[in-house]
Amino acid sequence: MIQGTASSVGKSLIVAALCRIFHRAGLNAAPFKAQNMALNSFVTPQGGEIGRAQAVQAEAAGIAPHVDMNPILIKPEGGMRSQVVVLGKPAGSMTWSAYQDRRAEFAGVVAESLARLRARHDLVVIEGAGSPAEVNLAAHDIVNMHVAAIADAPVLLVGDIDRGGVFAHLTGTMELLAPPDRARVAGFLINKFRGDPALLAPGLDFLRARFDLPVLGVIPYVPHLRIADEDSVGLEDRARRRAPAADQVDIAVIRLPHISNYDDFLALEHEDGVSVRFVEEPDEIAGADLAIIPGSKSTVADLRWLRERGAARAIAARAREGGLIVGICGGCQMLGERIADPHRVESEETATSGLGLLPIATRFARTKLTTQVRARIDAPSIFSGGEREPYELSGYEIHMGRSERGAGVAAPFRIIARNGVALEALDGAINREGNVAGTMLHGIFENHALRAAFIRALRRRKGLEASGSARPIASREQEYDRFAAAVAETLDLPALRRIIGLD
């Protein structure tokens, strides 16, 4: 089990790297995280919703994601409430106290999922959440030492040296753990190091002497990984990026308060000819070559934020001037004419006016649609660079709102299969002028042909050469290998195998 001194110390990526390392060694490995709080999620082949990090880890392990890998997913909604997803399906919107009332039930779900994974796989690599030393939450724990105990799993404790104070963080965490939990810690990992590892020698000696435990590795900081983040903490650095170069297309993604699945744009971020900025101010929207309203867990609340912030006016002005605007999932719904929520699924407002830039209306249902899809381009749009090619593309849907187009409204995509079942259904909408388009599909920019056409069109519109990147971006498989190699090079793998029991 991988636990950390705090959130965002790199637990998710280290689990992915270990899954990759053991997969390459011939083991049938699988990831597990009992309870994940995140707005970045993914859909399994069976149509269940899990945290994006566990889907990434499963891909690194060379296996399909499954709801047992993340049996409980908590998606904050605001107002001290969260949607709780259990075994891939919503179990309701709950306060913290309501969630705790069902703690015994959820702990049972966790234990059963873990048992099933252990029966199907040679090795399960477990990820903790936050820190195991949160003394105010220890009595409610079902994700850190509680899981280590029921699995009888040795724990590696990870600290992030890039944020400073790593030796204090590791030492403080150990000192705050109860003796039985401290005894489960089998070693330390220091993550995100930049520099000469020899500089750390006195600190590493201190940890070994104080706790009689090995430091199994000093993992280097690996820049520009094309591996999806678990939550929005990673957006802080990306929001502070420099202005785009003159030979780049400038894409402004509006950083909504409840932004979800912002990894939709990760492939675009790695293209040499593209600058992706996550922005909040209205004036940052006006000058971009393309503005995107991304997915949202709280569509109505984020729409209200757009209006209060002045961003709604900036988007409307941009549309009137012919500027390009795209909406994905919740962003697509916001661009429509109205949003109805008669069952108060997402907010207390039963009806809300949209931005009125797309001729669609959305109605929230009691059930969530979670599907993997195959689709084709139905009508040329911003997404396809104005092209209509016969290739297939893949993506996924996670939404409770069902959108309907007005008569004669063009749709950018035609879904041809959901969760492997053939069907035909139009997706999204394009306005009459063609400068505003929306889709309910996540993951579309992972499709190389569509992404290339999309970038070519943006570059032509800006007066640049149509060829975007001088080189193809790395595939996710290549990125898993790159990061796993960096981890393996600095990790004491023989010692780790002995700790796990693989020697």
Residues catalogued as catalytic: 329, 442
Which string of DSSP letters, residue by residue, matches 162-231?
GGS-HHHHHHHHHHHS-HHHHTTEEEEEEEEE-S-GGGGHHHHHHHHHHH---EEEEEEP--S--S--SS
210-213: list long-range contacts, CB under 8 Å, 24+ apart.
210/171, 211/174, 211/185, 213/185, 213/186, 213/187, 213/188
Give the number of other Cβ atoms within 10 Å of residue 166's Cβ.
24
Q: Rounded to the nearest 10 degrees, what angle do helices 476-490 and 11-24 cross at?
A: 90
Q: Are the beta carbons of 192 and 160 closer than 8 angstroms?
A: yes
CA 295 – CA 40 distance, rounded (Å): 10
Residue 470, burial from CB neighbour count under 10 angstroms (0-12, 13-18, 19+): exposed
Q: Counting runs of H as helices and runs of E as strands, what totals does the chain give?
A: 17, 26
In degrees, to the nearest 5, what angle opens at C-alpha 62 toward C-alphas 441 and 444? 15
Give the type of residue at 123: L
* Amino acid letter, residue 460: R
